[in-house]
A and B are shown apart, each in its own frame.
Chain A
Amino acid sequence: MMQLQVIFAKEEESYGIFIMRFNEKELSVIALQPCALEGKLSFKTQHLEKHQEDTPKDRYFRLVGNCLFYFRCAASGIEKVPLGAIFLEHCEALQYTDNTFPFSFLLKFKLDRDKQYIFGCSSIQSVDKWVKTINSAGYDQLRNRYDFLKGHMESKTGVRPKLGLISETNNQESSESFTKYVNLIDL
């Protein structure tokens, strides 16, 4: 299991060293799964508190679920193991203008206001696509959509839908308009 090290400044003068473990190897497998969007983008990281930014780099990005992976571009494609992963929760992507890239967008996070990312795309259409896809990638958003649909089903049929892994079965209790439901785990 790999360990990461991040050094961050606290309000007083002292520094804290923060190491968080994660299942890196398993995450590398996820990075290669079917994705919502992928492509080559330039990007740079901005560290707002230090008024610093990293040099822009070209990377290959893949948005899988609520995680944006990036790979180094190799001669014949991309490297197999991602360089990094940006989890997309409570974040906002928006179109951005800057001297760095002709077509770009900004990615910022409610839960880490120090760091933001600027991405450069090949066209305004590409910017639009990435912004839209990133803004709908969060887990919480998907969960909200689930809750909404569930509530909607309930209001339409008067029956609380149960969903799970096993295949559909008929339920005699339910109303006429709701003739089958998927039954396993009561979520």
Chain B
Amino acid sequence: MKLNEKMLSNLATSFLTPVDKEGWLMKRGEVNRTFLKRWFVLKGNLLFYFDKKFDKEPVGVIILEGCTVELAEEESCYCFKIVFSGPNTAGLRTYVLGTETQQEAENWMKMITCASYDYLKVMVAELQRQVDELTGHSYFMFFSMLNEEDELK
């Protein structure tokens, strides 16, 4: 499958998008089951990983859609799993990532759980519903909300 990889690679280090979370994580290989230390950068629903902290190009990216986050059973570190599933679950990957402290693992798990586009869409719809309920009328388009923002404040 072809991706617009140059754009994605630039996105990983660009100031145009905020970094939701970054830090060192141990990532277990798929074939070779040993852990490798990688610098992870979460931006939206894209979890990039680099060989070193200030590298310009990521080694890879994990697109965080259609996945769940669970604790892992590893004893050597505080580990969690990103589990992909679908209608034909056979062959879909599970990423095992490890941190040095319980707190770090929890923070990463929280952030990754809320990272998907789908999740954000549901949250926006819920907020929209609550706003509509409060104000008694609905906003049809985001752009019209932008114009009204000054009026309402």
A contact residues vs B (CB 8 Å cutoff): 1-2, 4, 6, 8, 18, 20-30, 33, 64-67, 81-87, 89-90, 109-112, 114-115, 136, 139-143, 145-146, 148-150, 152-153, 155-157, 161, 163, 165, 177-178, 181-182, 185, 187
Per-residue contact bits, chain B 68-86, to A (CB 8 Å; 1 contact, 0 not):
0000000000000000101
B9 close to A18 (CB less than 8 A):
yes
Q: Shortest CB–CB separation between residue A18 and chain B, in angstroms?
A: 6
- Given A27-B63, A111-B11, A157-B134, verify A142-B3 contact (CB < 8 Å): no
Q: Shortest CB–CB separation between residue A168 and chain B, in angstroms?
A: 9
Contact of B120 among A2, A111, A142 (CB under 8 A): A142
Provide the residues of chain A in CB contact with B2, threshold 8 Å.
4, 83-85
Q: Closest residue to A30 on the B side, CB-wise?
A: B65
Provide the residues of chain A in CB contact with B63, threshold 8 Å.
22-23, 26-27, 30, 67
Provide the residues of chain A in CB contact with B5, threshold 8 Å.
4, 6, 18, 20
Interface pairs (12), CB distance under 8 Å: A1-B60, A20-B8, A26-B65, A28-B1, A29-B87, A30-B66, A83-B2, A89-B44, A110-B16, A141-B142, A148-B142, A148-B149
- Given A4-B2, A161-B127, verify A29-B86 contact (CB < 8 Å): yes
Given A149-B128, A153-B134, 13 more pairs with CB closer than 8 A: A2-B1, A20-B8, A20-B60, A26-B65, A29-B86, A84-B2, A139-B117, A141-B142, A152-B152, A153-B130, A157-B134, A161-B127, A187-B114
Q: Is residue B137 within 8 Å, beta carbon to beta carbon, of the partner chain?
A: no
4 closest Cβ contacts across the A-B interface? A21-B60, A65-B117, A84-B2, A139-B44
Q: Is residue B123 within 8 Å, beta carbon to beta carbon, of the partner chain?
A: yes
Task: Count A-B contacts at CB 8 Å.
Answer: 175
Contact of B110 among A136, A153, A185 (CB under 8 A): A185
Provide the residues of chain B in CB contact with A21, threshold 8 Å.
59-61
Q: Is residue B101 within 8 Å, beta carbon to beta carbon, of the partner chain?
A: no
Q: Shortest CB–CB separation between residue A106 and chain B, in angstroms?
A: 15
B145 close to A148 (CB less than 8 A):
yes
Contact of A112 among B7, B61, B120, B126 (CB under 8 A): B7
Q: Shortest CB–CB separation between residue A79 and chain B, in angstroms?
A: 11
* Assembly CA distance A153 to B131 (angstroms): 6
- Given A23-B62, A149-B127, A182-B126, verify A112-B142 contact (CB < 8 Å): no
Q: Shortest CB–CB separation between residue A3 and chain B, in angstroms?
A: 9
Provide the residues of chain B in CB contact with A146, threshold 8 Å.
120, 123-124, 127
A65 close to B134 (CB less than 8 A):
no
B126 close to A25 (CB less than 8 A):
no
Q: Is residue B10 within 8 Å, beta carbon to beta carbon, of the partner chain?
A: yes
